[in-house]
Every structure is written in C-alpha cells, then in structure tokens.
Amino acid sequence: MTHPPRFQVVSVAEHADRLHEPFTMIDLVTLDDLVLSLYLCQGAMPQHRHLDQDELFLVYSGTVSLESDWGTAILRPGELAVAPKGLGHRTSSLLRSTVLLLQPRLMINRRNGDRRFFASRDLGRLEKVNVTAVGSQIMVAHTPIVLADVDTCALNLVLCTGVGPWKTAETYDSLVYCFVGQVDVESEEEIASLHQGELTHVPKGTVYRLSSAQEALVLQVLRHRQPNQALGE
C-alpha cells in the first residue's frame, strides 16, 4: 500500500500568482491552532485590533506600511514585524505587495486571556526585523535564532550547511520555510527538497533533519512553553 508523502511542498510564488483582488488571502498551511496565510496588500485596510491574536507580517514582495498605535514600520521583502494582540493597526501599500501572515485562528474563543502579550510590550513601538541581516550574523549552523514570538510559538531562523541533527516535532506541528538557498527536509521515510520560497508542514511526531550542500537560511515555526525575549530586548 502506497502512503501519501508526509511532506507536501508549497510554493509561495505559485500562490501569489493566484491573488488578484486587494486583500484577498490564501491559507498555505495550518499548524495546530496557527495558520500561515498569504495575502495581497494593495490600498489600505481599515484600522482594527485583535483582542486575542498576535499577528506576524513578513513581506514576500513589494513594500508594505504597517501603521499602528505604536507608530509605523515600512516593511520590504524579507522584513517582518509583529502586531501584538490589542494593538490597533492596519497594512497599506501603494503598489501590489504580497505578505505572509502568521496568526492564531482556531479555538480563539476558548483561550481568551490565556496567552501572553509578547511583542515588545515595554518598548511601545513596532520592531522591524530584517531576516537577511540577522542571517548574516549567524556563526553556528543548525542553531535556531529566535526572530519573533506569536502566541506560544517562536519564529526561528536557522543557518543550514551540511547535515543537521535529527529532531522531533514532538506533540506539535512544525513548519520549514526555505528563505534563501536550497534545503532538504529528511524523515526516516522520505526527503523533500525545498528551493527558495518553498515550505513544508512537519506533522507532530515526525523525526526529521535538515541538510544543505551549500549555505541556506531556513525559517521554522516551533512551539515553546516559555516565550523567549523579542530580538533587541
């Protein structure tokens, strides 16, 4: 009996080509109660706030203005910022731009007030993170660097070169997104090759490792019990 592949490769570019109307959205992958989506930002969204949802914005193409009660961050490709729950905000762009959006979506009504208020709560301003700039400072391969927190998950950046150690997704789903280069995601049963701009969902309980013939930068979404401090704190 042939089993379906565990790792389904998703191309962000292919989904971006399917977006035509401003602020239309495509869900790329669901990780337990988190959803990674892609939306087309063109024009301006109304100002709004989420009482129980952190939102992470990572620009894929174009230039996006993230306006908030804490000020405005101009995000270009490869730059991200988090709008924590309770913060009034909106995104806007004069031209066609595409944005990866990571946010909790499932069972929000059951967990209201149970999650921490993560993003730079003491600074009172949006923090912009340039993924490429952080990646250029990583000296040790296969060691995750926390870029931001969303809900009880961390968005990590990993420098991949050679073969990394085996790890387990344990009791939560994970995600691997090839940000720069090419990386192989290998389980005991199969290998998925990700090129730049491609991602795959790692189901809970999967034993896997990352490898790359040349240097590659990988973004991973991983659950953690205790949130790490935001970059710069």
- Say which CATH number the domain at 206 has: 2.60.120.10
75 belongs to a structural domain: yes
pLDDT at 73: 96
Rounded average pLDDT per 10-residue block, the chain, 233 residues:
74 97 96 94 93 93 96 97 93 97 71 44 77 96 94 93 91 93 95 97 93 97 60 35
* Residue 111 belongs to domain spanning: 9-129
Residue 107, pLDDT score: 52
The total of structural domains in the chain comes to: 2
Same domain (yes/no): 17, 122: yes
Q: Which residue among 129, 162, 177 closes a domain?
A: 129
Asked if 211 contacts 184 with a C-beta cutoff of 8 angstroms, the reply is: yes
Block residue for tokens 């924590």: 84
Residues 41 and 82 in one domain: yes
In a domain, 3, yes or no: no
Question: What is the distance of C-alpha 2 from the center of its chain?
Answer: 32
What global pTM score does this model have? 0.88
Considering the domain boundaries, does residue 231 fall inside one?
no
Q: Is residue 233 part of a domain?
A: no
Task: Determine whether 86 is exposed, middle or buried from the number of CB atoms within 10 Å of its CB (0-12, 13-18, 19+).
Answer: middle
**Is 232 a member of any domain?**
no
Query: 28-41 b/e with 16+ CB inside 10 Å = b?
Result: bbebbbbbbbbbbb
Nearest to 97 by CA among 45, 56, 65, 62: 62
Q: What Å distances lie between residue 170 and 94, 178, 190, 204, 225, CA to CA?
A: 43, 21, 18, 6, 13
